[in-house]
Amino acid sequence: MATSASTVLRRALLYVPASSPRFMAKTRSLTCDNITYDLEDSVTPSEKEKARSYLANYLASNTKPPSVGELAVRINAVSTPSALGDLTALATSPNLDTIVIPKVNSAADLSFVTDVLRHAAPKRYSNGSDARPFRLIALIESARAVMDLPSICAASPDLKGLIFAAEDFALDLSLTRSPELTEFLYARSAIVTAARAFELESTIDLVCTSYKGESGISRLEEECRSGKGLGFNGKQCIHPSQVDIVQNMFGPGEAEVQWAVRVAVADDKASAEGRGAWTLDGKMIDAPVVGKARVILKRAESCGFDVARVVDKWKNQEPE
């Protein structure tokens, strides 16, 4: 039943405008896998430098809260004059884990960011005890980026995930976003497939722009189900009220964990008997199904699920 060490969990990625010291301070009371302080879309051009200064000071004077898994910053696009200043100003922040890079259109964008960070924070890329390279996450926002996904995924050893930016993608292709999201099916499938092929940790789905009232919650839940069904393992959030829902939806549920434990327990017994395929509840179980069950259990443990409790409940499960 043992599983290997888990990768970084990013069920929810919450954007917080770096132009607001008040909003940044509020994040210290949140429980969230990833908080991304935003220097891009939520900050007006006239406030860019001020927001960068606010964020650098905030990161220098505050440690990462224990209830936050990862602290990140979304810099401005590499194609803008602000990107280089963002990177050099924040590269020495010891509490910053990850750089989120918007509007990645080619491998060159990630190569640029990687090179700047290696020069600005050499200790983090050394072979010594201080080595802690920045993780990179790329936002896929255009038709060109979707077509260039293989080279983007291979561009940097520090790339850990891809994010789908629906609104900019819709703008690029002159699409109108519908509740069904069918207009994004190809791009979303391409992103999760490429990320899996290149063994990236995270695939983070589009923002749900609805977050108020019952209709907003219903829309958010439906989008989470849709994204999870396509293979995404996280979702962007634009309001703290979305975080708990998203993290619950992208974590394994009780029924899912119960099934996975039954499969894993029975498979251990089947393997001891030399059986490569067997049945459970009248359905055939073979290596791919067992592999899926063990991935669910690994993720459940990462999410804090009490897997041992369920294992104890089903310890007598037998392969049929």
74 in a known ligand binding site: yes
| Contact present, 75 and 87 (Cβ < 8 Å) | yes
List the one residue out of 39, 42, 26, 31 whose CA is nearest residue 9.
Answer: 31
Cα angle 249, 232, 191; round to 5: 160
Q: Which residues pair with 15 in a beta bridge?
A: 36
CA 98, chain centre distance (Å): 11
Q: How far apart are CA 290 and CA 305, in angstroms?
A: 19
| Contact present, 32 and 69 (Cβ < 8 Å) | yes
Alpha-carbon distances of 221 from 203, 216, 232, 252, rounded to whole Å: 17, 9, 14, 14
Element spanning 98, H or E: strand 98-101
| Contact present, 284 and 320 (Cβ < 8 Å) | no
Q: How far apart are CA 294 and CA 297, in angstroms?
A: 5
Find the length of the chain.
Answer: 320
168 in a known ligand binding site: yes
Kindly give the pairing relationship between strand 32-38 and strand 202-205: unpaired
141 in a known ligand binding site: yes
Q: How far apart are CA 272 and CA 265, in angstroms?
A: 11
Binding-site residues from annotation for Mg(2+) = 141, 168
- Binding-site positions read 74, 141, 168
State the binding site for substrate: 74, 141
